Amino acid sequence: MIKAVLLDDEPLALDLLESHISKTDGIKVVGAFTNPIEALQELGKLSPDVVFSDIQMPELSGVQFTKIIGSKTMVVFTTAYDQYALEGYDLNVVDYLLKPINLERFQKAVEKIKSRLQKASTEPEKTPDYIFVKSEYKTLKINLADIHYIKGMADYVQIVTAGDKIMTLENLKHFEKTLPSSNFMRVHKSYIIAMDKIEFIERNRAVLLGDYIPVSETYKKVFFERVGG
């Protein structure tokens, strides 16, 4: 049974999705929210397989929401505006449903979700323990276990280990997609940190290698949920 969370700032849109789900086999609603911040707070407890998310919301856009939760939970975008379709697929969302959503189109999206879940259950999960990074004229192999944090700095990125600071022209978005979300988390527009390298947390800052890394409002709720604070 697929566990679904519904997210839309319009209650009528939630009602329609719940109606479609009630007419569709193999899927159930485990949570429905009009506020994305509240959805983020409850997501860990609900452990959904998929989130049906609107894109245009006042507190946090569906695109921002999807970037925060990472790739572990599938996302289907629901919106009245088709100009977001390309960005949605760049985020590897399962499907993109244009409002008003009819039942037949909704059920096709559910079949895509089932297909992904089935594929995931039959394929062994591959967790890389290193990455290759271009730095100046070299391509360096960096063990993930050595990375403490990654800092965005204008036109380049700095990868910080216990003994080195490696500069590369790759952007933070690349590392956000590449690094396993089980340990690495974006906590600020300029920082990705290794959760197992946190020395302590002081207010809204995580300390790694003695450096104070700010945790911004966008990521704060999920960050403190992960550390149990």
pLDDT in tens, 109-154: 999 999 999 987 776 666 668 888 999 888 899 999 999 999 999 8
pLDDT at 123: 66
Pick from 227, 188, 218, 226: which is nearest to 37 by CA? 218
Q: How far apart are CA 3 and CA 186, in angstroms?
A: 26
pLDDT at 121: 77
Residue range(s) defining the domain that contains residue 200: 130-227
Confidence of residue 208 (pLDDT cuts 50, 70, 90): very high
pLDDT in tens, 12-51: 999 999 999 999 999 999 999 999 999 998 988 899 999 9
Same-domain pairing of 31 and 62 = yes
Same-domain pairing of 7 and 118 = yes
| pLDDT at residue 87 is higher than 60 | no
Same-domain pairing of 15 and 116 = yes
pLDDT at 127: 62
User: What is the pLDDT averaged over residues 59-85?
Assistant: 84
Q: Could you say which of 122, 149, 184 is where a domain stops?
A: 122
Same-domain pairing of 12 and 110 = yes
pLDDT at 90: 58
Same-domain pairing of 90 and 164 = no
Same-domain pairing of 216 and 189 = yes
pLDDT at 72: 80
Pick from 79, 73, 86, 37: which is nearest to 55 by CA? 79
pLDDT at 13: 97
pLDDT in tens, 150-184: 999 988 999 999 999 999 998 999 999 889 999 99
Q: Could you say which of 81, 105, 122 is where a domain stops?
A: 122
Same-domain pairing of 69 and 117 = yes
Q: Could you say which of 89, 104, 122 is where a domain stops?
A: 122
By DSSP bridging, strand 2-7 and strand 27-33 are parallel
Q: What is the CATH number of the domain that holds 89?
A: 3.40.50.2300
